[in-house]
Structure 1
Amino acid sequence: MNPFVFACITPHGGEIIPELQGAMPERMAKTRENMVKLGGWMSDAMPDSLIVLTPHGTRINGRFSITDSERMEGFLRENEADFSMEKKVDRELAKLINRQAAADGVPASTINYGTAAGPISCLPLDWGVMVPLRFMPDVPVVVITPSREMSFEDHINLGKALRKAVTQSGKRVGLIASCDWAHAHDADGPYGFDPAARQFDEETVGLIQSNNLEKMAEFQEDFIEAAKPDGIWQTLILAGAIPFEERKVEFLSYEAPTYFGLICAGYHA
């Protein structure tokens, strides 16, 4: 039985946040609309806590990092506008995930900053967390950042550990895999243009629509490097957490209005 009340794959481009959309709100309008839908589904599921998987958080080389501070704060500036956020951390759930990962032989560590507890115990919120959470219910979070030094199998195994920990917790938990896809769609973008970007995103859309998330582990290293996605790792964690037979996918949208691909998909319990 799926222990997560709702799960989703979300993008994290800053302009998706309505407060940061700037003078061209139409540029990510489809994605923004579907983020509102995903946030509504998550709210309807009434989670006690949210686990957010992000590629842009504090990394520990060769280990998964799991937030265990009292709170997290973040600030974004884009299109001459500002957006800030503060979240409480579900430390009980974070510690439970870490213990389960250790029991399963998955390299992971909790992280903190400042003081062991209290208001100064605060870690940064990255944009990979802030963008999806802008649309989600205001509940405590646990943020997990993978390390690309680890194998795809390690990521699936962490997902399995998440599943066990959430089941043991007895809490209503939502899961968010924060993912942008190929980053080489535009010659004027920071990573330039590569035809692999379009092919990679087309194949990724097909795998998500057909529920074959595990097959992302079969992408060749040179193909990944050419396309420059940052979503495979978080998606494989989700795949481990919710196996094929329990994933009820509702694919909402794909677009690449700038240099990187954006996908919205939900997984109902």
Structure 2
Amino acid sequence: MNPFVFSCIAPHGGEIIPELAGEKPERMNITRQSMLRLGNWMKEAEPGCLIVLTPHGTRIDGQFSITGSETVEGIVEENGEKFSMKRKIHREMADLLARGAKAEGLPAGVIGFGTSAGPLSCLQLDWGAAVPLRFMPDIPVVIITPSRSISYEMHIEFGRMMRKVVAASGIRTGLIASCDWSHTHNPAGPYGYHEEAQILDEKVTLLLQQDNLEEMAEFPEESIENAKPDGIWQTMILAGAIPFDERKSKFLSYEAPTYFGLLCMAYHQ
């Protein structure tokens, strides 16, 4: 049985946040409406902890990074506006995951800052976590950042470890895989244009709709380099955490209104 009360794949473009929509709120409105639905479903599931998989947190080369501070705090800036967020870390879950990784022989490091406890024990909250968390219940979180120098198979194994830990913990836990997709849709974007962006995102959308998450591991390196997605690694962890026969999935939306792809997917228990 799927131990996560609710899970999702969610994007992290800053303009999705209503407070940062600026003068063109329609630009990411399809995704924004999908995020509101994901947030409502997560609230209805009543988790006591949220695990967020983000590509933009504090990275440790060759290891999975697990937050071990008392809090995280950060600011997302877009269209001349700022959105700030502070969340408590679910330190019990963070410790359980770190112990689980060690027991399974998986490379993982627990990160902190300043002090081991108290108000100075606070790490920066990245936009990859803050944007989806804007739509989620205000409960303690665990932030995990994968390393791209670790194999896809090890990401899947990490997800399987998470599954076992959450099931044994008795803690009602939600899971968020924060994923943007190809970043070369628009020549005016910071990474330029490549035709592979549309091709890869179409493949991703189809595989997610078919629940064949693991097949993303077969994407050619050249295709990944040209399209520049940042969602594959978090998706591999999700694939391990929720096996194929338990993926009660619902595809909500995909759009690429600027230079990167935005996709929302729900996984019910």
TM-score bucket of the superposed structures, by smaller chain: over 0.9
Partners of 1:184 and 1:266 in 2: CA distance = 25
Q: Which residue of 1 aligns with 2:90?
A: 90
Partners of 1:87 and 1:50 in 2: CA distance = 11
Partners of 1:28 and 1:78 in 2: CA distance = 13
Where do 5+ consecutive residues of structure 2 fail to align?
A: none
TM-score by length of 1: 0.99
Partners of 2:169 and 2:86 in 1: CA distance = 24
Partners of 2:73 and 2:179 in 1: CA distance = 20
Q: Which residue of 2 aligns with 1:184?
A: 184
Amino acid at match of 2:246: E
Amino acid at match of 1:228: K
Amino acid at match of 1:139: I
Q: Deviations over 1:8-29 (max 9, x none)?
A: 0000000000000000000000
Q: SS where residue 25 of structure 1 aligns? A: coil
Q: Which residue of 1 aligns with 2:246?
A: 246
For these two proteins, the number of residue pairs brought into alignment is 269
Identity %: 64
Q: Which residue of 1 aligns with 2:101?
A: 101
1:76 offset after TM fit, Å?
1.5
Give yes or no for the alignment of 1:266 onto 2:263: no
Q: Deviations over 1:116-141 (max 9, x none)?
A: 11111000000000000000000000
Residue correspondence of structure 1 range 43-122 to structure 2 within 5 A: 43-122=43-122
Give yes or no for the alignment of 1:133 onto 2:122: no
Partners of 1:6 and 1:140 in 2: CA distance = 15
Amino acid at match of 2:119: P
Q: Which runs of 4+ in 1 moved over 4 A?
A: none
Amino acid at match of 2:203: E
Partners of 1:127 and 1:75 in 2: CA distance = 8
Give yes or no for the alignment of 1:123 onto 2:123: yes
Partners of 1:247 and 1:103 in 2: CA distance = 26
Partners of 1:107 and 1:144 in 2: CA distance = 13
1:105 offset after TM fit, Å?
1.2
Q: SS where residue 135 of structure 1 aligns? A: coil
Q: Which residue of 2 aligns with 1:146?
A: 146
Where do 5+ consecutive residues of structure 1 fail to align?
A: none
Residue correspondence of structure 1 range 138-217 to structure 2 within 5 A: 138-217=138-217
Partners of 1:76 and 1:210 in 2: CA distance = 33
Residue correspondence of structure 1 range 208-247 to structure 2 within 5 A: 208-247=208-247
Q: Deviations over 1:148-190 (max 9, x none)?
A: 0000011001101110111121000000000000000001100
Q: SS where residue 194 of structure 1 aligns? A: coil
Q: Answer with 71-80 or 250-259: which moved more.
A: 71-80
Q: SS where residue 27 of structure 2 aligns? A: helix
TM-score by length of 2: 0.99
